[in-house]
Amino acid sequence: MDQEPQTQQENVRNENGRVRAWIVWLSSYWTECKRVLRVTKKPTGFEFKTIVKVSGLGMAIIGIIGFLLQFGKEMIF
């Protein structure tokens, strides 16, 4: 389908719509960020230690898997 070239006024109207959409998105994003920050809380010492332990264990497991894969690759080639 052939589209007629847009007039300058239509281009400005479309650009304003894009700017407004961007502003609406940014505003809603900021509102969601504020809502999340309002409901979060500082972890207790026990919760923090548990998070550190679980994260460390996960990193160790991923490291071991990576090491074994690299070691296996070196042994094969």
Q: How confident is the chain (77 residues) per 10-residue block, as mean pLDDT?
A: 59 72 91 94 96 98 97 92
| pLDDT, position 27 | 93
Candidates 54, 57, 35; CA nearest to 43 is 54
For 34, phi and psi rounded to 5 degrees? Answer: -65, -40
* The model scores a pTM over 0.85: no
User: What pLDDT does 17 receive?
Assistant: 76
User: For position 59, what pLDDT does the model report?
Assistant: 98
Domain spans of the chain, in order of start: 1-40, 43-77
